[in-house]
């Protein structure tokens, strides 16, 4: 064994011992460590500075109580988190997730991924993530507002323009960011750059809503083009029906693809004519209803209970845009058997380790989340920049910058993979390109 593998194994062993009950976090770190050995072989200075052990331990992990009153007058209690993972290259940046499954393991996996994703964008932002096990589904607007206000009363003690700038994620969209910002402003005065994903009338950026989905397609286009292919005329299977899925479907269809599905946690719809965006947006953005209702407006479409990754349907490109571990090894085998020659991840860690191994064994094109879905945080950083400059850039300007960032990020991943003998491995390329920048900054800054 080389010094590099010894070192990586010892960090992995300590982590397993320290956080045995954090499966999602262990999985994210495990996926990363599998690809990083060549970097430590080439850079013994990273071992000397013990960069890896420092990188897998959050700089700060805050857990707090969020008490709020429901419409019936009952006092409810949820758990809030903010994990400030790594600030080597800039202030912590990463979303807030409100979903009943949220716990420290999930927030840590998301924060860990965010370090490399943010580094890959080329913008000066460190990695963080937060959220709560609060379930927004079925809550009234007033309940959502009271929850967000209580959450911010605590969170505001820990964030700052040059310290930590949260954004949205699952269950946190424009409405929630508005309520969170409103409470922040009452407590601290107007500091627009403190949150991103804001409404356009109070400092939000044009194209932020679309950014993750559009960015996913810009990345997919770059990956397909590098392999002599394109989205034009291709059938695309999409999971999710939220922010990322909606704008991925929109941009894929603009590029000539037929996006044949959308899903939620109950089931999925297949529309052979391509998902009708007006219908999708009305259901999910306006009425906050279930995807099942799609077939009421489009009777030729079909609704099925269960996971879209179990669907018996032929397609060319897979875009998982719902949640972590939504594709297991069997479903990855099915995806390949169904004809997919490429997958690009809109959701964070949507593929289990077994699924990733199946893509690699079948040699299909695989665009990993930390690269493919970096468009959201990239435009968030552009929103911070607009807030500092007190300007609002046009949609075309922001969208153009987003496209450039995604194409550059893909090219940098390819170059890093080639440099370390991993040609064509976009996962290794993304991990290496994201990591080396952070590691260099950590070494340069001492400890
Ligand atoms: P939304 O809350 O807007 O939508 C989430 C979608 O995924 C919903 O359709 C939801 O269905 C579905 N979903 C959530 N949990 C599950 C589950 N356990 N099983 C099946 N379906 C589920 O979130 P986003 O679109 O913002 O986020 C989607 C993914 O993209 C997440 O992994 C997120 O971390 C990632 N991401 C988001 C970014 C952003 O800018 N928003 C940036 C980068 C990554 P239901 O309504 O039934 O829960």
244-254 per-position pLDDT tens digit: 999 999 999 99
- Size (the chain), residues: 447
User: Residue 299 and residue 305: Cα distance in Å, rounded?
Assistant: 17
User: Residue 433 and residue 429: Cα distance in Å, rounded?
Assistant: 6
Rounded to an integer, the average pLDDT of 187-213 is 97
Distance 247 CA to ligand 1 centre (A): 12
pLDDT of residue 131: 98
Give the number of other CB atoms < 10 A from CB of residue 55.
Answer: 23
Residues with CB under 6 A from ligand 1: 168-171, 173, 212, 240-245, 264-265, 321-323, 346-348, 373, 376
366: which residues sit within 8 A by CB, 6+ positions away? 342, 343, 344, 356, 359, 360, 426, 427
pLDDT of residue 192 exceeding 80: yes
Q: Which of 139, 250, 264 to mutate to test the pocket of ligand 1 (most atoms within 8 A of CB)?
A: 264
List C-alpha distances in Å: 155 to 139, 166, 285: 21, 10, 27
H/E stretch holding 132 reads strand 126-132
pLDDT of residue 246: 98
pLDDT of residue 1 exceeding 70: no
Ligand 1 atom index nearest CA of 244: 25
Give 447's pLDDT tier (boundaries 50, 70, 90). confident
Closest residue by CA, ligand 1 atom 13: 322
pLDDT above 90 coverage of the chain, percent: 99
User: Residue 255 and residue 341: Cα distance in Å, rounded?
Assistant: 17
327: β partners = 351
Distance 63 CA to ligand 1 centre (A): 23
106-121 per-position pLDDT tens digit: 999 999 999 999 999 9
Closest residue by CA, ligand 1 atom 30: 347
pLDDT of residue 18: 96
Distance 361 CA to ligand 1 centre (A): 28
3-state secondary structure 37-71: HHHHHHCHHHHHCCHHHHHCCCCEEEEEEEEEECC
Ligand 1 atom index nearest CA of 348: 32
Of the residues 93, 117, 129, 437, only one is catalytic, namely 129
Closest residue by CA, ligand 1 atom 17: 265
pLDDT of residue 127 exceeding 70: yes
Rounded to an integer, the average pLDDT of 307-320 is 98
Distance 23 CA to ligand 1 centre (A): 19
All domains of the chain in start order, with CATH: 1-191 (3.40.50.10860), 211-367 (3.40.50.720)
pLDDT of residue 239: 98
DSSP, collapsed to helix, strand or coil, labels residue 289 as: coil
Closest residue by CA, ligand 1 atom 34: 348
pLDDT of residue 324: 97
378-429 per-position pLDDT tens digit: 999 999 999 999 999 999 999 999 999 999 999 999 999 999 999 999 999 9
Supply the mean pLDDT for the chain. Answer: 97
pLDDT of residue 147: 98
pLDDT of residue 157 exceeding 80: yes
Ligand 1 atom index nearest CA of 167: 40
Which has the closest alpha carbon to 350: 432, 237, 251, 436?
237
Distance 253 CA to ligand 1 centre (A): 20
Rounded to an integer, the average pLDDT of 332-352 is 98
Q: Which of 1-10, 264-273, 286-295, 386-395 has the lowest mean pLDDT?
A: 1-10
pLDDT of residue 53 exceeding 80: yes
The sign one gets for the Cα dihedral 212, 115, 60, 108 is positive
129 belongs to the catalytic site: yes
């Amino acid at each position: 064994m080389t010094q590099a593998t010894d070192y990586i194994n010892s960090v992995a062993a300590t982590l397993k011992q320290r956080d045995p009950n954090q499966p999602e976090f262990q999985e994210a770190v495990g996926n990363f460590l599998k690809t990083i050995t060549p970097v430590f072989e080439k850079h013994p200075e990273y071992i000397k500075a013990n960069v890896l052990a420092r990188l897998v331990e959050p700089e700060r992990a805050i857990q707090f109580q969020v008490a709020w009153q429901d419409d019936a007058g009952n006092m409810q209690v949820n758990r809030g988190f903010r994990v400030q993972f790594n600030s080597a290259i800039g202030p912590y940046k990463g979303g807030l997730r409100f979903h009943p499954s949220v716990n420290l393991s999930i927030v840590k996996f998301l924060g860990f991924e965010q370090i490399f994703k943010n580094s890959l964008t080329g913008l000066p932002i460190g990695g963080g993530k937060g959220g709560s096990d609060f379930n927004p589904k079925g809550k009234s607007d007033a309940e959502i507002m009271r929850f967000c206000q209580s959450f911010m009363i605590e969170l505001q003690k820990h964030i700052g323009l040059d310290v930590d700038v949260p954004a949205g994620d699952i269950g946190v969209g424009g409405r929630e960011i508005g309520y969170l910002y409103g409470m922040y402003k009452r407590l601290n005065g107007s500091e627009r750059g403190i949150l991103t994903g804001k409404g356009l009338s109070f400092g939000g950026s044009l194209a932020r809503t679309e950014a993750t989905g559009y960015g996913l397609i810009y990345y997919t286009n770059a990956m397909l083009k590098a392999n002599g292919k394109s989205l034009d005329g291709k059938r695309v299977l999409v999971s999710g029906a939220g922010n990322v899925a909606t704008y991925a479907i929109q941009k894929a269809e603009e590029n000539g693809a037929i996006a044949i599905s959308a899903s939620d946690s109950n089931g999925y719809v297949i529309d052979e004519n391509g998902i009708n965006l007006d219908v999708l947006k009305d259901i999910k953005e306006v009425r906050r209803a279930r995807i099942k209702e799609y077939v009421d407006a489009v009777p030729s479409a079909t609704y099925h209970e269960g996971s879209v990754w179990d669907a018996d349907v032929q397609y060319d490109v897979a875009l998982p845009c719902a949640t972590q571990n939504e594709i297991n090894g069997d479903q990855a085998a099915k995806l390949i058997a169904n004809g997919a020659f490429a997958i690009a991840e809109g959701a964070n860690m949507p593929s289990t380790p077994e699924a990733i191994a199946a893509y690699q064994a079948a040699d299909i094109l695989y665009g990993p989340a930390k690269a493919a879905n970096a468009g959201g945080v990239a435009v968030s950083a552009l929103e911070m920049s607009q807030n500092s400059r007190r300007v609002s850039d046009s949609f075309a300007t922001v969208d153009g910058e987003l496209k450039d960032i995604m194409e550059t990020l893909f090219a940098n991943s390819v170059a890093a993979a080639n440099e370390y003998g991993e040609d064509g491995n976009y996962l290794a390329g993304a991990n290496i390109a994201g990591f080396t920048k952070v590691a260099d900054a950590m070494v340069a800054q001492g400890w």
